[in-house]
Amino acid sequence: MSYQSLPKVELHTHIEGAAPPDLIKGLAKEKSVDLSGIFAEDGGYAYRDFWHFLEVYEAATSVLKSPTDYARLTKAVLEKCAEAGVIYLETFISPDFCGGRDVSAWRDYLAAIEDAANEAERDAGITLRGVITAVRHFGPDAARETARCAQETAGGFITGFGMGGDEKSGKQSDFAYAFDMAREAGLQLTTHAGEWNGPQEVRDALDHLKVQRIGHGVRAIEDLALIDRLIEDDITLEVCPGSNVFLGVYSDLGDHPIAKLRDKGVKVTVSTDDPPFFRTDMVKEYEDLSRQFGWDAADFQALNLAAIDAAFCDETTRTRVRKILEAQDV
């Protein structure tokens, strides 16, 4: 069956990572920047491994240079996600790329993104919330400046704070101060952990950053006591199966622990992470999971309800989206 029309909630995407390759190519052409090296013959993004992926991500992002560019990006991303049936989306947005962590420039980028999101909500029925994100390999000082941007713009559209990037760079605890700042500003918290590093990374994220959600977190499966803790502490995992397989965390979906984590009682959700980079979208994720683990529309409805429960949004939005999910006859 096609899962296209099933309403979906997606908690883990990176705004530039969701950029359609044609948008980036068009911007590169307009700005006379040669980005031919980052594209494969089929027109998609090309990279060798995770670390090269981070470089290609930053190269693609280098042509997004103004609030107007981010408005175009936001519109394109939301159109694609709405086509895949997503009705509520959270995306990581980084003041590192939007104005170089300068608060006043960041406000201009944010206003443009929010305007585009409001337009898409009206035209395509998709709701977006932003999670301001520090980039781990830019280091703790940069993260503090990012958190300052978060403090200045928390509330309304900006509902969370997180961290992505190279998990091999520094420790979660190096970023505790930035996360404390974001928590004090009333933001909800998530961090990428347990993707490239093992379960200890997830423990560190819980202990030092006191997050409510974990990006990926899949390697928690290697530590049964940690699984118990995830359940007791009511932590939701933002699992991105296609991303993990494409980047080589697991060699194929059959080896991926999402079904085991779910069977053990961990709250798991499904997201695409950086969809064109991993040649995926939410429909493909559902089809692949259905083929591999036998999940059906009722399973996906339950996953989407878990996702909206863990969403970083206000209660009015949560209730409205939950009603749409519950109204599906699966």
For residue 16, state whether it binds Zn ion (rule: CB under 5 A): no
Please name the amino acid found at residue 323: K
For residue 90, state whether it binds Zn ion (rule: CB under 5 A): no
CB of 136 to ligand MCF, least distance (A): 7
Instruction: Among 90, 274, 281, 285, indicate the residue that binds ligand MCF (CB under 6 A).
Output: 274
Query: Would you say 244 or 301 has its CB closer to ligand MCF?
Result: 244
Q: Which does 94 bind (CB under 5 to 8 A by kind): ligand MCF, Zn ion, none?
A: ligand MCF
Please state, in angstroms and as integers, the Cα–Cα distance from residue 244 to each residue in 107, 153, 155, following that order: 33, 32, 31
Stretches 10-18, 31-39, 119-127, 200-208: which one binds ligand MCF (CB under 6 A)? 10-18
Stretches 77-85, 179-187, 267-275, 322-330: which one binds Zn ion (CB under 5 A)? 267-275
Query: Would you say 167 or 273 has its CB closer to Zn ion?
Result: 273
DSSP string, 265-297: T-EEEE--BSGGGGT--HHHHHHHHHHHH---H
Element at 246 (helix H, strand E): helix 241-247
Q: What is the C-alpha separation between 244 and 283, in angstroms, rounded?
A: 17
For residue 283, state whether it binds ligand MCF (rule: CB under 6 A): no
Strand partners, 190: 213
Q: Which of 211, 232, 21 is nearest to 131 (CA)?
A: 211
Query: Would you say 85 or 276 has its CB closer to ligand MCF?
Result: 276
What is the per-residue binding string for Zn ion in 161-200, x denoting contact by CB under 5 A? ---x------------------------------------
Residues 282-311 that bind Zn ion (CB under 5 A): none
If DSSP codes are grouped into helix, strand and coil, which group holds residue 22?
A: helix
CB of 167 to ligand MCF, least distance (A): 7
Instruction: Among 10, 114, 195, 281, indicate the residue that binds ligand MCF (CB under 6 A).
Output: 195
Residues 217-256 that bind ligand MCF (CB under 6 A): 243
For residue 17, state whether it binds ligand MCF (rule: CB under 6 A): yes
What is the per-residue binding string for ligand MCF in 142-171, x denoting contact by CB under 6 A? ----------------------xx------
- Active-site amino acid positions: 195
Q: Tokens for 19?
A: 């950029």
If DSSP codes are grouped into helix, strand and coil, which group holds residue 8?
A: strand
The percent helix, strand, coil of the chain (3-state, each to 5) is: 55, 15, 30
Residues 52-111 that bind ligand MCF (CB under 6 A): 54, 57-58, 92-94
Q: What is the C-alpha separation between 206 and 225, in angstroms, rounded?
A: 14
Size of the site for Zn ion (CB under 5 A): 2
CB of 12 to Zn ion, least distance (A): 6
For residue 273, state whether it binds Zn ion (rule: CB under 5 A): yes
Q: What is the C-alpha separation between 202 and 219, in angstroms, rounded?
A: 8
CB of 113 to ligand MCF, least distance (A): 11
If DSSP codes are grouped into helix, strand and coil, which group holds residue 96?
A: coil
Q: Which of 184, 171, 31, 11 is nearest to 81 (CA)?
A: 11
Instruction: Among 135, 245, 259, 311, indicate the residue that binds ligand MCF (CB under 6 A).
Output: 135
DSSP string, 117-152: HHHHHHHH--EEEEEEEEEGGG-HHHHHHHHHHHHH
What lies within 8 Å, CB to CB, of 254 at 6+ separation is 292
Q: Which does 165 bind (CB under 5 to 8 A by kind): Zn ion, ligand MCF, none?
A: ligand MCF
Residues of this chain that bind ligand MCF (CB under 6 A): 14-15, 17, 54, 57-58, 92-94, 133, 135, 164-165, 192, 195, 243, 273-274
